[in-house]
A and B are shown apart, each in its own frame.
Chain A
């Protein structure tokens, strides 16, 4: 891990570089012992990029295997491990921390005009906890992997699997605390650290989205933590909790697991929705349409998210009446989701829209999230779910939400705030090109999977009937394009650290307190505590008041 501070010398020689969070201190120690929320955000960025690459390699191997109907690249045992480790790396170690831990950490204190989060040392500790969890999971992977699926269904996980379940479970358990502590920190920060004049309804929607996310993190994560503890106790000490042979009930595990893991989907998507609200407003030069509706829809998603877990168990033998109730509740989630999509669209209407890279990702998000959301309704319907359950339709559905939604939002955030974080601009042309490549590659990868699932191809098998090959080859071809699409930004963003032109304080002429301070920001964010006198996204009021401060 290279933690050398980024070279941030200003263009004019002789002029001293202003002190910022990157050049205030040098050396590995100054990074590993930092309590600055901005540096911790960067530490997370490096860590989650490693896991994203790892999860991506597993995905590539899966798609390679599925290019042909026969199981000719890896054995079926190896295939089980590949999709498990792909899920564990991507969900627990990339998607859940992604936007909150990197951009939330970096931006929330700046957006609310604070010097830091409420508990800076706890913030650093949660990065260490994340890393320790990561080491355990790495170890489990290096020692032969784990094959239970990322869902760890008991009693397979607690009794029968011969792979490194306990080690992986410990890793995920430890990681959970990092997520809880981050959520706790954000809640207290947002409640208690807002600048004078910054009322709740003047907060950027990014902050609202993270508040809702944090609620899920502190309410849901402990439940999966105790479920994992119980699996580990059953596996190591043979306590009788989930295994029918020991008197337990495997369905209880599914209930406890999905009580967290369904809301966890909203941990992954809500922060992206916050990003999209910021980006759409900025590049439409308009206040977000229906601000309070978007703010409350985040909370509504967080609350409803806790009431729908049973839709993962329609075919697990739960009662039909429970199934019907979970089906209705699941469909209700579509309402706040649609509120957001309609409001974003209404924001675009008669805005002066420009198509910079962050905006391309945001527009991509709206389209792909809509497809992902609507196909969710197919799965929420009891009768169709019986046909579609555990097929590639489900795989396509959640990848439209997770990759098409969450990662699109992550890329939008990366391109929107990169100049703020590093003080450098990336090459806009390449960025637009990469956004296009990702959009095309993504759809080519996952759209055929909807068709495959509808035709009946089950998930989690490494061989399939030959008639499915054409669609699978399309999907694999799309995955290679997608991979190229992710590698291009990786290269030009690193390139921009040294060679990118200086960004200035506010390259997008955006509203929001984070744009009123130099890029990269000084260690304590603001020269003096800002006083807020207007609502968020006041693009109409005074054109670009921050321009004067651009160096």
Chain B
């Protein structure tokens, strides 16, 4: 009983109200995130329709194999996150900690691959504003380098913003691991795991859109 009281915040009448409030809060936040990324996707759509060839050419300068590996990594991390939430619901502390750590690991693998990819772009002199040099030879379409520059700007803005969300997600999971370690969660109280799961899946879904829009647009 005392356990229940310590996790129920004073403004709520019961745990059910608290759970519904935190879930609704996270969904509202995710709507906010949809619109945040929506601004980027709108910009992408505008320029892709203005410079279709430059976007096709730019896409060929990205390594789709790396993107595909990262997609697989993220989808797996969604599975482990879902299993973590399930473990929390069932009150299985050890498997909760295990799946959270696994999710963190997969998220870190994604970020590590991203760092590798960015450094590769640096060596190819394809980072806008830092060391962009128009490529000597184009792969398929001969386009105005300035238009290629716009594509790369969007590539870095979009994947960078996504990576930032991944970093936040991994940090949140780290906090959850500590809390789970201390036995804060039970089958009655696991809201933080649940809402962190929602966030994690959302960030994955953003990548599911980014991958084809950036890596695959000229490979049909």
Contact = CB atoms under 8 A, between A and B. Distances in A.
A218 B28 contact: yes
Interface string A214-225: 000011111101
B153 A222 contact: no
B96 to A, nearest CB: 24
B47 A223 contact: no
Interface string B133-148: 0000000000010110
Contacts of B109: none
Interface class of chain A by DSSP: helix
Contact of A118 (B25, B42, B156): B25
Contacts of B50: 249
A238 B31 contact: no
B32 A184 contact: yes
Contacts of A59: none
A472 B149 CA distance: 48
A230 B39 CA distance: 10
Interface stretch (B16-24, B75-83, B165-173): B16-24
A427 interface: no
Interface residues of B, number: 39
Interface string A382-403: 0000000000000000000000
B1 interface: no
Interface in A220-242: 220-223, 225-227, 229-230, 233, 237-241
B11 A226 contact: no
A446 B4 CA distance: 59
Interface string B30-58: 01110111111011001100110000000
B157 A241 contact: yes
A424 interface: no
Given A222-B39, A238-B129, A193 B32 contact: no
Contacts of B149: 240, 246-247
A31 to B, nearest CB: 19
Interface in A152-204: 180, 184-185, 187-188, 191-193
16 contacts: A115-B11, A191-B21, A191-B24, A218-B28, A219-B35, A222-B36, A225-B39, A226-B36, A227-B39, A238-B129, A240-B149, A241-B153, A248-B47, A248-B153, A256-B43, A524-B10
Given A184-B32, A240-B153, 15 more contacts: A115-B11, A118-B11, A119-B25, A184-B29, A221-B32, A223-B36, A225-B39, A230-B43, A230-B157, A233-B157, A238-B128, A240-B150, A246-B146, A247-B149, A256-B43
Which 6 A-B residue pairings sit nearest by Cβ, starting from the closest? A238-B129, A226-B39, A222-B36, A116-B11, A239-B153, A247-B146
Interface of B: 9-11, 13, 17, 20-21, 24-25, 28-29, 31-33, 35-40, 42-43, 46-47, 50-51, 128-130, 144, 146-147, 149-150, 153-154, 156-157, 161
